[in-house]
Protein backbone atom coordinates (compact mmCIF):
# COMPACT_ATOMS: atom_id res chain seq x y z
CA UNK A 1 0.00 0.00 0.00
CA UNK A 2 1.37 3.37 -1.02
CA UNK A 3 1.79 6.01 1.71
CA UNK A 4 -0.48 9.04 1.37
CA UNK A 5 -1.21 12.30 3.11
CA UNK A 6 -4.34 14.41 3.34
CA UNK A 7 -4.29 18.01 2.11
CA UNK A 8 -7.10 20.44 2.87
CA UNK A 9 -8.36 22.50 -0.05
CA UNK A 10 -8.01 26.21 0.77
CA UNK A 11 -11.16 27.02 -1.26
CA UNK A 12 -13.80 24.50 -0.17
CA UNK A 13 -12.18 22.77 2.85
CA UNK A 14 -12.38 19.25 1.36
CA UNK A 15 -9.65 16.81 2.41
CA UNK A 16 -7.84 15.32 -0.58
CA UNK A 17 -5.73 12.16 -0.32
CA UNK A 18 -2.43 12.63 -2.15
CA UNK A 19 0.30 9.98 -2.62
CA UNK A 20 3.22 10.94 -0.38
CA UNK A 21 5.72 10.82 -3.22
CA UNK A 22 3.61 13.40 -5.13
CA UNK A 23 2.92 15.73 -2.18
CA UNK A 24 5.22 18.40 -3.59
CA UNK A 25 3.58 18.37 -7.03
CA UNK A 26 0.86 20.79 -8.08
CA UNK A 27 -2.57 19.19 -7.68
CA UNK A 28 -6.25 20.04 -7.85
CA UNK A 29 -9.06 19.49 -5.36
CA UNK A 30 -11.32 16.58 -6.30
CA UNK A 31 -14.39 18.58 -5.24
CA UNK A 32 -13.97 22.16 -6.52
CA UNK A 33 -10.84 21.74 -8.71
CA UNK A 34 -8.98 24.61 -7.00
CA UNK A 35 -5.20 24.34 -6.67
CA UNK A 36 -4.06 22.39 -3.61
CA UNK A 37 -1.18 23.59 -1.42
CA UNK A 38 2.07 21.76 -1.96
CA UNK A 39 2.76 19.69 1.13
CA UNK A 40 6.47 19.73 0.46
CA UNK A 41 6.61 23.51 0.36
CA UNK A 42 5.02 24.46 3.63
CA UNK A 43 3.51 22.96 6.76
CA UNK A 44 -0.03 21.62 6.51
CA UNK A 45 -2.59 23.52 8.62
CA UNK A 46 -4.80 21.18 10.64
CA UNK A 47 -7.92 21.81 12.68
CA UNK A 48 -9.84 19.97 15.39
CA UNK A 49 -12.24 18.75 12.70
CA UNK A 50 -9.60 17.05 10.54
CA UNK A 51 -6.92 16.21 13.12
CA UNK A 52 -7.86 12.52 13.27
CA UNK A 53 -7.79 12.01 9.51
CA UNK A 54 -4.88 14.27 8.67
CA UNK A 55 -2.54 13.50 11.56
CA UNK A 56 -3.54 10.26 13.26
CA UNK A 57 -4.66 8.65 9.98
CA UNK A 58 -1.49 9.49 8.07
CA UNK A 59 0.66 6.66 6.77
CA UNK A 60 3.70 8.92 7.24
CA UNK A 61 4.99 10.22 10.57
CA UNK A 62 3.56 13.67 11.33
CA UNK A 63 5.19 16.36 13.45
CA UNK A 64 2.53 18.79 14.65
CA UNK A 65 3.47 22.18 16.03
CA UNK A 66 0.86 23.36 18.53
CA UNK A 67 1.21 27.13 18.30
CA UNK A 68 -0.47 30.43 19.11
CA UNK A 69 -0.43 33.64 17.04
CA UNK A 70 0.42 35.62 20.19
CA UNK A 71 3.54 33.51 20.87
CA UNK A 72 6.74 35.17 19.64
CA UNK A 73 8.72 31.93 19.86
CA UNK A 74 6.10 30.21 17.67
CA UNK A 75 6.37 32.93 15.04
CA UNK A 76 10.17 32.62 15.02
CA UNK A 77 9.82 28.87 14.37
CA UNK A 78 7.80 29.42 11.18
CA UNK A 79 10.80 29.56 8.76
CA UNK A 80 12.27 26.48 10.45
CA UNK A 81 9.05 24.52 9.91
CA UNK A 82 8.83 25.61 6.27
CA UNK A 83 12.40 24.44 5.70
CA UNK A 84 11.74 21.08 7.39
CA UNK A 85 8.51 20.59 5.41
CA UNK A 86 10.48 20.97 2.16
CA UNK A 87 13.30 18.71 3.28
CA UNK A 88 11.09 15.93 4.67
CA UNK A 89 8.57 15.86 1.81
CA UNK A 90 7.61 12.26 1.07
CA UNK A 91 9.18 10.97 4.32
CA UNK A 92 7.23 12.88 6.97
CA UNK A 93 4.55 15.56 7.23
CA UNK A 94 5.03 18.83 9.07
CA UNK A 95 1.74 20.25 10.36
CA UNK A 96 0.61 23.23 12.44
CA UNK A 97 -2.39 23.59 14.74
CA UNK A 98 -3.45 27.00 16.08
CA UNK A 99 -4.49 26.26 19.67
CA UNK A 100 -6.55 29.46 19.95
CA UNK A 101 -8.88 28.28 17.18
CA UNK A 102 -8.63 24.54 17.89
CA UNK A 103 -8.58 23.97 21.66
CA UNK A 104 -9.96 20.40 21.61
CA UNK A 105 -6.85 18.84 20.04
CA UNK A 106 -4.58 20.89 22.31
CA UNK A 107 -6.50 19.68 25.38
CA UNK A 108 -6.50 16.09 24.15
CA UNK A 109 -2.71 16.16 23.81
CA UNK A 110 -2.37 18.07 27.09
CA UNK A 111 -0.50 21.00 25.58
CA UNK A 112 0.57 23.32 28.40
CA UNK A 113 2.78 25.79 26.51
CA UNK A 114 3.78 26.80 23.03
CA UNK A 115 5.48 26.00 20.82
CA UNK A 116 4.96 22.30 21.49
CA UNK A 117 5.90 19.66 18.94
CA UNK A 118 4.20 16.26 18.96
CA UNK A 119 5.26 13.45 16.63
CA UNK A 120 2.43 11.09 15.69
CA UNK A 121 3.37 7.82 14.06
CA UNK A 122 0.94 5.00 13.35
CA UNK A 123 -1.89 7.00 14.88
CA UNK A 124 -0.21 7.39 18.27
CA UNK A 125 2.05 9.89 19.93
CA UNK A 126 5.63 8.76 19.43
CA UNK A 127 7.53 11.79 20.71
CA UNK A 128 7.20 15.27 22.14
CA UNK A 129 9.47 18.30 22.50
CA UNK A 130 8.67 21.75 23.79
CA UNK A 131 10.11 25.19 23.13
CA UNK A 132 11.76 27.19 20.43
CA UNK A 133 14.99 25.69 19.13
CA UNK A 134 17.41 25.98 16.22
CA UNK A 135 16.58 24.05 13.05
CA UNK A 136 19.32 21.46 13.57
CA UNK A 137 18.14 20.67 17.10
CA UNK A 138 14.55 20.21 15.95
CA UNK A 139 15.66 18.04 13.03
CA UNK A 140 17.87 15.89 15.28
CA UNK A 141 14.98 15.33 17.71
CA UNK A 142 12.65 14.43 14.84
CA UNK A 143 15.07 12.14 12.97
CA UNK A 144 14.49 8.95 15.06
CA UNK A 145 10.79 8.97 14.09
CA UNK A 146 11.30 9.25 10.32
Write out the catalytic residue numbers. 71, 74
In this structure, the number of other CB atoms found within 10 A of the CB of residue 115 comes to 26
| Cα angle 29, 96, 139; round to 5 | 115
Asked whether 7 and 37 are in contact (CB, 8 A), the reply is yes
Give the Å distances, CA to CA, from 3 to 18, 21, 61, 134: 9, 8, 10, 29
Rounded CA-CA distance 123/136 in Å is: 26
- Residue closest to 5 by CA, chosen among 15, 21, 17: 17
Amino acid sequence: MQASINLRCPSCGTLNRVPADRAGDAGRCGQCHAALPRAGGSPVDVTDADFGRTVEGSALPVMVEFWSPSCGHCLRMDPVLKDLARELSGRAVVAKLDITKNPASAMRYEIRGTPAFVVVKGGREAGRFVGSMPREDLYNRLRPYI
